[in-house]
Amino acid sequence: MDYDFNKWMSDYRVISAVGENAEGGIDRLAYTDYDFAARTELLNRAYGMRLQCFLDAAENLWFSKPGTDPDLPPLLIGSHLDTVPNGGRYDGVLGVMAGFQVLRYLAENKVAHRRTVELVAFSCEESSRFNLSTIGSKLACGMTDPEKLKKYKDASGSSPVDFLSRLKYAPESLEDRRKHLSEILGYIELHIEQGPVLETGGIDVGIVESIAAPIRLRVDFTGRSDHSGACPMDLRSDALVGAALTIAEVERLGRSEASSRSVATVGTINVPHQAMNVVPGACTIHVDIRGIDRSSMERIYAGLRDFLQKLRVERGLKIEETLLSDEYPVPMDRHLGEIIERNCKNTGLSYRWMPSGAGHDAMNVAKLAPSAMIFIPCVGGISHNLKENVLEKDLRNSIQILYEVVMDICR
Return d(Cα 264, Cα 212) in angstroms, integer.
12
Residue 259: DSSP 8-state: G
Q: Does 338 share its domain with 288?
A: no
Number of domains in the chain: 2
pLDDT 10s digits, 241-256: 999 999 999 999 999 9
Q: Are residues 13 and 73 in the same domain?
A: yes
Range of the domain at 376: 5-212+331-410
- Of 309, 326, 343, the domain-final residue: 326
How far is it, in rounded angstroms, from Cα 383 to Cα 386? 8
248 and 107 inside one domain:
no
State what percent of residues in the chain have pLDDT above 90: 91
Q: Locate the DSSP E strands across 271-394.
A: 278-279, 282-291, 318-326, 330-331, 351-356, 371-376
What ranges make up the beta strands (E) of 271-367? 278-279, 282-291, 318-326, 330-331, 351-356
Domain shared by 226 and 109, yes or no? no
Tell the burial category of 392 from Cβ atoms under 10 Å away from its Cβ (0-12, 13-18, 19+): exposed
pTM of the model as a whole? 0.83
- CATH code assigned at 312: 3.30.70.360
Residues 25, 136, single domain; the answer is yes
Check which CATH number belongs to the domain holding 94 and give it.
3.40.630.10
Residue 83 main-chain phi, psi, to 5 deg: -125, 170
pLDDT, mean over the chain: 95
- Of 205, 8, 1, 6, which Cα lies nearest the Cα of 101? 8
On whether the CB atoms of residues 372 and 187 are closer than 8 A, the answer is yes
| Same domain as 305, residue 292 | yes
CA 61 to CA 54: how far, in whole Å? 6
End position of a domain, from candidates 266, 293, 326: 326
pLDDT in tens, 186-226: 999 999 999 999 999 999 999 999 999 889 999 999 999 99
Q: Are residues 261 and 302 in the same domain?
A: yes
Span 66-81, average pLDDT: 97
Specify whether 60 is located in the same domain as 134: yes
Task: State the pLDDT at residue 6.
Answer: 96
Residue 169: band (very low, low, confident or very high) from pLDDT cuts 50, 70, 90: low
- Same-domain pairing of 43 and 179: yes
pLDDT digits (tens, 9 = 90+) for 253-275: 999 999 998 999 999 999 999 99
Q: Out of 326, 351, 368, pick the residue that ends a domain.
A: 326
